[in-house]
Structure 1
Amino acid sequence: MLTRLILCCLLLGAGAEAAARQPGPAGCAAISVAFYDHGALYYRSGGAWSGIDKDLVTELGRRSGCRFRYLTDSRVRIWAMIQTGTLDMSVSAIPTTERKKFARFVPYMATRNYVLLPKSLAVKVRSLDEFLAEPSYKIAVVKSFKHGPTYDAWLDKLRAQGRVYDTADYTALVHLLKIGRVQAVLSLPTSWMPLFKNGELNDDFRPMDWAPRDVVVGALVLSRQTVPAATVQLFERTMREMRADGTLKAIFERHVSADIAAGMLAYPGEPEGEQRN
């Protein structure tokens, strides 16, 4: 009798474990998704996490039927986990040729970076070339971030001269600017607008639009090792529905101004799963 009881318990335990691994109602298993603290995209509000990316993933889960397991980490660690297959998914990712080797992308927003400068410097320096020409000027960026073709090429030149500080997160980035360790930082409107709004940055700083033709595409990033192509296609369809019915616009406008939200909807190209090459 005892042997039979132990066997039954083992079978029940195995069944529960198998059930936990079963796909959700839309054909996808529980997906680990990592967020990172980054302005209006993901931020603490009243002791809880909020932001565009949080709302977007919540709505994606509601519509697709997929279950998500949330975590918060640094951007550097997130990319490392995606690449090794220990994390399924993240947000606000910029597709690159190298990253597409280990991940698939589902775009949902467009934006571009601005250069934040002290006001006293903004009246003297009017372009990337003028900043580059002064050897004493330094800039800070978040490690592992991509900033668009114009800024990334400019940063390569600054790096060659030892003039770039790589920070672990956006909070450290802003701190270096405020204490004068660097003369500039690169930042998206979804990051710098809240800082001016809440008073963390004041009128002593200016955002400069030095690469107006650059477009930075923000996307869901999904591990090729752990997330099936069918799930990526499901997310693409769901994202198109959210865009078409105005849900995506409403999520953006919940956290940024209407004009910034309108620009975020204007991303170019097609989702990866829709390309035929």
Structure 2
Amino acid sequence: MKRSPLDIDRGRQALRLLGLTLALLWHAGPALAQACGPYKVGLYEFGTLLYRDEKEQLTGIDKDVLDALVRRSGCVLETRLESRARIWDQLQRGQLDMTVSGIATAERLQYADFLPYLVARNHALMRREQAQAAGASFSSFLADPTLRAVAVRGFRYGSQIDGWLSQLRAQGRVDEVSDFPVALRVLAAGRVALLFAHPLVLDPWWHTNWAAKFELLDWAPQDSVQASLVLVRQRVRPADRELLARHLEAMLRDGEMDRILRKYLSPEMWRRSRLGGPGG
């Protein structure tokens, strides 16, 4: 049976469409097969970095950083709230892929990459009357055996402050708690006299009546640390680590990181906390 010219033309169009579809699938196949994620990210409550708003929704600098990375990179990041000690334990055991605002140590660098995005320095936070009684240095605090401190399990405060806490632990003068909100409540209740804290996580409260009861003392001015996105090398593919690093660097260059910090911090604290600013 002889085919009409119309049937022949339709057949050619169908073949061209099939060829185009196969070409698109061939090019898209590797990208689909190598999609970024899903990865599990451990979050922890820590003042302006992550806290619950009046509607009990998690908000803060770290959440906004992750949201921006998801939007820019297309990576699938599944977040879950944990204590800081459990996060580091799971990262080291290979049960968690990432965390936020992590502080690098020699031990942690053995299994994870650290991508910094802000700078912080811990200060001594004390009730005002106790700060005046203890004097202006750690040595005077150490000399009074009646004074105690509180620390969060899994936190690294900086080399000098970590050394001071080791001295206090040796004397049985440190209460260990699961997270920062608990530590803050222990201090506010008067059960301890000292908590080391980043001013940036306290910034919203520091401009209220709450601050009148407390004093921040800069005992370790050289003990600045960089807070980083932490990626476990055995869990996050090299290409995805490179992708996230590239987008985080772009956020630091194009001003998105500055916009996030300004959203939660006072102008002075923003300048001190930005990477490459006065704080680091």
Q: TM-score range by the shorter chain?
A: 0.7 to 0.9
SS at 2:90 equivalent = helix
Corresponding residue for residue 50 of structure 1: 59
SS at 2:99 equivalent = strand
Percent of matched pairs sharing the same residue: 36
Corresponding residue for residue 21 of structure 2: none
Equivalences for residues 48-127 of structure 1 within 5 A: 48-124=57-133, 125-127=135-137
SS at 1:107 equivalent = strand
Contact kept, 8 Å, 1:142 with 1:173, in 2: the verdict is: yes
Contact kept, 8 Å, 2:200 with 2:273, in 1: the verdict is: no
CA positional deviation for 1:141: 0.9
Corresponding residue for residue 3 of structure 1: none
Match of 1:154 among 137, 150, 164: 164
Contact kept, 8 Å, 1:114 with 1:189, in 2: the verdict is: yes
CA positional deviation for 1:24: 6.3
Q: Kindly provide the CA deviation profile for residues 45-74 of structure 1, in whole angstroms up to 9, marking residues without a partner as x.
A: 122111000000000111111111121111
Match of 2:150 among 140, 153, 158: 140
Match of 2:182 among 150, 163, 172: 172
CA positional deviation for 1:266: 3.1
Q: TM-score, normalised by structure 1?
A: 0.84
Q: Kindly provide the CA deviation profile for residues 5-52 of structure 1, in whole angstroms up to 9, marking residues without a partner as x.
A: xxxxxxxxxxxxxxxxx9769841211112111100001112211100
Structure 2: where are the runs of 5+ without partners? 1-29
Corresponding residue for residue 28 of structure 1: 36
Contact kept, 8 Å, 1:217 with 1:267, in 2: the verdict is: no
In the alignment, the residues of structure 2 paired with residue 243 and residue 256 of structure 1 have an alpha-carbon distance, to the nearest angstrom, of 16
Q: Kindly provide the CA deviation profile for residues 129-168 of structure 1, in whole angstroms up to 9, marking residues without a partner as x.
A: 1111111111001111000111111111111111111111
The 1:243/1:231 distance shift into structure 2, 3 A limit, reads same
Corresponding residue for residue 45 of structure 2: 37
Match of 1:128 among 138, 145, 148: 138
Equivalences for residues 166-245 of structure 1 within 5 A: 166-197=176-207, 201-245=210-254
In the alignment, the residues of structure 2 paired with residue 98 and residue 55 of structure 1 have an alpha-carbon distance, to the nearest angstrom, of 28
Contact kept, 8 Å, 2:119 with 2:275, in 1: the verdict is: yes
SS at 1:135 equivalent = coil
> Which segments of structure 1 move beyond 4 Å, counting only runs of 4 or more?
22-27
The 1:210/1:29 distance shift into structure 2, 3 A limit, reads same
Structure 1: where are the runs of 5+ without partners? 1-21, 269-277
Amino acid at match of 2:43: F
The 1:114/1:24 distance shift into structure 2, 3 A limit, reads farther
Q: TM-score, normalised by structure 2?
A: 0.83
SS at 2:212 equivalent = coil
In the alignment, the residues of structure 1 paired with residue 49 and residue 31 of structure 2 have an alpha-carbon distance, to the nearest angstrom, of 28
> Larger C-alpha radius of gyration, 1 or 2?
2
Amino acid at match of 1:173: A
In the alignment, the residues of structure 2 paired with residue 55 and residue 93 of structure 1 have an alpha-carbon distance, to the nearest angstrom, of 16
In the alignment, the residues of structure 2 paired with residue 34 and residue 47 of structure 1 have an alpha-carbon distance, to the nearest angstrom, of 18
SS at 2:146 equivalent = coil
CA positional deviation for 1:258: 1.7
CA positional deviation for 1:252: 0.6
Amino acid at match of 1:113: N
Computed over aligned residues only, the root mean square deviation of the Cα atoms, in angstroms, reads 1.9
Contact kept, 8 Å, 1:24 with 1:65, in 2: the verdict is: no
In the alignment, the residues of structure 2 paired with residue 178 and residue 40 of structure 1 have an alpha-carbon distance, to the nearest angstrom, of 18
